[in-house]
Amino acid sequence: MRSDAAPVAVVGGGFSGVMTAVQLARRGVPALLFDGSGRLGLGVAYSTREPAHLLNVPSGKMSAWPDRPDDFARWLGDDGTSFAERRRFGTYLREILGQARGVQPQQNTVVAAERDGKGWRITTESGTVHAASAIVLAQGNQPPLPLRVGEGISPDDFIHNPWSAEAANAVRRLAQEGGDVLILGTGLTMIDTVLSLDEAGHTGRILALSRRGLVPRAHAPHEPAPVSAEEVPFGDLLATWRWLRRRTGQVGFRAAVDSLRPFSAELWQSYTSKDQRRFLRHARAWWDVHRHRIAPEVAARLAALIAEGRLQVVAGRLTAVTQGAEGLDVFFQRRGGRSEERRVSALFNCTGPLGEMRRTQDPLLQQFLAGGAVRIDDLGIGLHVGQPGRAGERIWAVGPLTKGTYWEMVAVPDIRGQAAAVADDIVKELGA
């Protein structure tokens, strides 16, 4: 690449953006790393200050570098089997960023980009303008929008975004004032919220509600049972499902689910979009709780809270919420059963990030989508990308924004490889 070329603009300073910028710098390509959220270098997952929030992947698999798989475990000084505090991973990531030469962090949100010759002119929220030779979109999962069922309810009581400052304030308030809580969703975000409440000293009851009431399973020691590509039933969702059930019976669900990991992108891409949709509708909840497992100590803590009657997990559907003088009255219908009513002091939406890319509130994504610079994938959940993350002309995307194309592009062991591959691809393109 020419030495006078403009840097690459990386939009989003979470794991995806940091590692793409650092990988570019390693290849001699300077990068501007934008993030105006106050979490630059950490992102949503690793900006938590809560010690109870543990990684859900053992340290031996959390290296930021695909070519040095034990880097994080060495940094921590452990044998690779522990589930470290997530904030420790944030410190690790910030150290990597701090040591990178050629990455310029910019505490700013990117709001627009215009073509400038072959490259781009980037505009930030504070009005600064930057020349860039290419853009990497690394904005992560899009935050959830307010749920319709919560219309008219005070946002202090109905917390729409569990990763927001409002959520942290609500946890503090509930710890001081007490009161029961309803959590919508029973996945990893519900667990984070329960742990935050418990750590803060909240003593009320917590009801966690989701359609199926499935809770992430715990990690446990198991013998790996790898399979060869010939054994994997590519191209047939139903056959994959039957295979997984059979294999679970033979080697246990942990080994069975893990054995598909090396093939996950290829497997996902071998399905028709109709089958991918079917997976999202019917199989995703099962897959998520078996695939994204929690640390054994977290599982033990949840079990204790359930045993004490402090946490109740229910399969059902929230039907209405009304605001009364003494809290929220919530109405829900148990799966296949009766309707119930409870009074709670707060409700947290932990149903996950925004599911439809067309509803994104990100100004740059909105502009790019409206102008056709990038397009939404066939499932509507991310951006359409070509290998390894080409989203448009001199535009790349990295991380969860590409999950419609790769499916398992949501965690560190997958994103680190994509960040390196995208950096290679950018060098190839710009060097020409």
Ligand X SMILES: Cc1cc2nc3c(=O)[nH]c(=O)nc-3n(C[C@H](O)[C@H](O)[C@H](O)COP(=O)(O)OP(=O)(O)OC[C@H]3O[C@@H](n4cnc5c(N)ncnc54)[C@H](O)[C@@H]3O)c2cc1C
Q: Does residue 209 contact residue 341 with C-beta atoms inside 8 Å?
A: no
- Residue 16 or 351: the one with the smaller Cβ distance to ligand X is 16
Find the shortest distance in angstroms from Cβ 139 to ligand X.
4
Find the shortest distance in angstroms from Cβ 258 to ligand X.
14
Measure the CA–CA gap between 15 and 138, rounded to whole angstroms.
9
- Residue 136 or 305: the one with the smaller Cβ distance to ligand X is 136
Find the shortest distance in angstroms from Cβ 35 to ligand X.
4
Measure the CA–CA gap between 391 and 393, rounded to whole angstroms.
7
Find the shortest distance in angstroms from Cβ 47 to ligand X.
8
Sequence-ordered list of residues with C-beta below 8 angstroms from that of 175, at least 6 positions apart, any chain: 197, 200, 201, 202
- Residue 174 or 365: the one with the smaller Cβ distance to ligand X is 365
Q: Does the CA dihedral 330-215-76-74 come out positive or negative?
A: negative
- Residue 174 or 419: the one with the smaller Cβ distance to ligand X is 419
Q: Does the CA dihedral 338-339-341-345 come out positive or negative?
A: positive
- Residue 104 or 333: the one with the smaller Cβ distance to ligand X is 104
Q: Which helix (H) or strand (E) holds 79?
A: none
Find the shortest distance in angstroms from Cβ 299 to ligand X.
14
Scanning 260-328, the segments in alpha helix (DSSP H) are 264-270, 273-278, 284-291, 296-307
Q: For residue 299, what are its two tokens?
A: 């599982």
Find the shortest distance in angstroms from Cβ 86 to ligand X.
6
Sequence-ordered list of residues with C-beta below 8 angstroms from that of 183, at least 6 positions apart, any chain: 190, 193, 194, 206, 207, 208, 209, 347, 348, 350
CB count in 10 Å sphere of residue 382: 23
Measure the CA–CA gap between 326 and 8, rounded to whole angstroms.
53
Find the shortest distance in angstroms from Cβ 36 to ligand X.
5
Q: Scanning the structure block, which residue is given the tokens 């509803």?
A: 359
Q: Which helix (H) or strand (E) holds 164?
A: none
| Residues at the site binding ligand X, with contacts judged by CB under 6 A | 11-17, 34-37, 39, 43-45, 55-57, 109-110, 138-141, 192, 362, 364, 399-400, 410-413
The amino acid occupying position 212 is R
Find the shortest distance in angstroms from Cβ 157 to ligand X.
23
- Residue 71 or 362: the one with the smaller Cβ distance to ligand X is 362
End-to-end, the C-alpha distance of the chain in Å comes to: 8
Find the shortest distance in angstroms from Cβ 60 to ligand X.
12
Q: Does the CA dihedral 383-419-139-350 come out positive or negative?
A: positive
Nearest to 382 by CA among 371, 369, 393: 369
- Residue 43 or 392: the one with the smaller Cβ distance to ligand X is 43
- Residue 141 or 276: the one with the smaller Cβ distance to ligand X is 141
Q: Does residue 134 contact residue 394 with C-beta atoms inside 8 Å?
A: yes
- Residue 189 or 345: the one with the smaller Cβ distance to ligand X is 189
- Residue 330 or 365: the one with the smaller Cβ distance to ligand X is 365
Measure the CA–CA gap between 135 and 412, rounded to whole angstroms.
21
- Going by their DSSP bridges, the two strands 206-210 and 181-184 should be labelled as parallel
Angstrom CA distances, 104 to 43, 134, 428, stand at 17, 15, 22
Find the shortest distance in angstroms from Cβ 362 to ligand X.
5
- Residue 180 or 192: the one with the smaller Cβ distance to ligand X is 192
Find the shortest distance in angstroms from Cβ 201 to ligand X.
22
